[in-house]
Structure 1
């Protein structure tokens, strides 16, 4: 593929990803403000809904944030009683949503679901499924080759 085509793809991807992320942030902004949490903290609540018992190292890897940055966010969520640590074995703990954390997650999820379902309705389920399949494939390639490769 020629350099111009690669640059065009990069620019289009960047523009689209920044725009869609900002739309998702806007969709949940009232929930975030109401409960006094950050978008990153909401992302942690969302992760713990689908992957209960994750530890801070796993969360840091998934969010591409250093472990100390994740620890600060986690401690704030624990102090607000939105997540809790539970002992998994003698040496490790897992993180879990509390009922209050689940409530925030569900309110934000409703907003995201309404936004994305509108997009899917406009583009069609078949094209949306194709997009996700291709996006997942790209993500797998990135993971296999390493982020910097």
Structure 2
């Protein structure tokens, strides 16, 4: 058996409000991956990204107009995604409110408690973490 080293391909970011609810993105109907499902913020790691933290900061800037810095994130875990690629889950530490964000990607967004998330059509990544690490989400 051979050891396979996976390269980090994407980042998933948990964004919360001051109450601890998780902000999820309703994915656009035209996207190739997980259309019309609730998912994390984030995306592919670019060659220009020096780390997962830099990728997460860039993605929050692009998707929510949040001027994040790499030091604003905490790594919570990693998983191999449905396409066999390594994805890192990061928590954006500062709480955000609606007045601090502008939704620039997806079909919409909403803040949810863990108990509410269990009833949503979720992307594989959110469902995976909700099942295996429910402590990442406030109830």
Q: TM-score, normalised by structure 2?
A: 0.24
Higher relative contact order (CA 8 A, sep 6+): 2
Higher helix residue share: 1
Larger Rg over CA atoms? 1
Q: TM-score, normalised by structure 1?
A: 0.23
